[in-house]
Amino acid sequence: MGDMDLKDALAGQYRATLGMLLQCVERCPDDIWESGGPERPFWRIAYHAVFYTHLYLMPTEHDFVAWEKHFDNAASLWGKDNTPVDAYAKADLVAYIQSVSAAVGERLDAIDLEAETSGFHWYSIPKVDHILLNLRHLGIHVGQLQELLYAEGIDLDWISRR
C-alpha cells in the first residue's frame, strides 16, 4: 500500500468516526448535554474527543492552533485540570466537529507517516502509530457517548460518512 493509499484510508476512517461523533452530539437531548457530573458531562467528553483529534492531526505540537472558541481546561477529563467550566453550545460543537472533519485530508497530507517521532514530546512513538492511537482514542469516546445515549433509549444509526 502506497503512502497516498494509506492516507486515503486513514482519512476515510477519520471522517467516518467523526461522523459518528457528530451524530452523538446532534442526537443528545438538552437534559443529557450537561449530565454526568461537573467534571465529565456529555458535552465535555465530546469536546475532548474532537479537540484531541484536531490536535493530533498536526505534524507536531508546535503546528497546532486551537479552535477559536477553545477555553482552558475544557478538553480535560482527568486530574486537577478538569475543573468545571461552562458548557459549549451544541451548535458550536457541531460546527467544530464539521470543521475538523472537513480538514482531515489536508491535515493528513501535511503529515509524514514515516516520521520516527510523533511530533508530540509526550508520545515516544512513530507518527503512523500516533495517528492510529488518535483514531483509537476518538473511537473510544464515541463508544462512551453512544452508551450514554443508549442508556436513555436514544438509538443511533451508524452509516459510513467516508
Please give the C-alpha separations between residue 52 and each of 32, 47, 94, 137, 153, in angstroms, as whole numbers.
22, 8, 15, 8, 28
What pLDDT does residue 154 have? 92
Q: Is the pLDDT of residue 31 over 60?
A: yes
Single-letter residue type at 150: Y
Percent of the chain scoring above 90 in pLDDT = 75
Q: Is the pLDDT of residue 148 over 50?
A: yes
Query: What number is the average pLDDT over the span 38-58?
Result: 92
- The pTM assigned to this predicted structure is 0.91
Place of cell 452523538: 24
pLDDT tens, position by position, 97-126: 999 999 999 999 999 999 999 999 999 999
b/e code 13-32 from CB counts within 10 Å (16+ = b): bbbbbbbbbbbbbebbeeeb
pLDDT tens, position by position, 123-142: 999 999 999 999 999 999 99
Q: Which domains does the chain have, with CATH numbers?
A: 3-151 (1.20.120)
Residue that wins the pLDDT comparison between 89 and 73: 89
What pLDDT does residue 126 have? 97
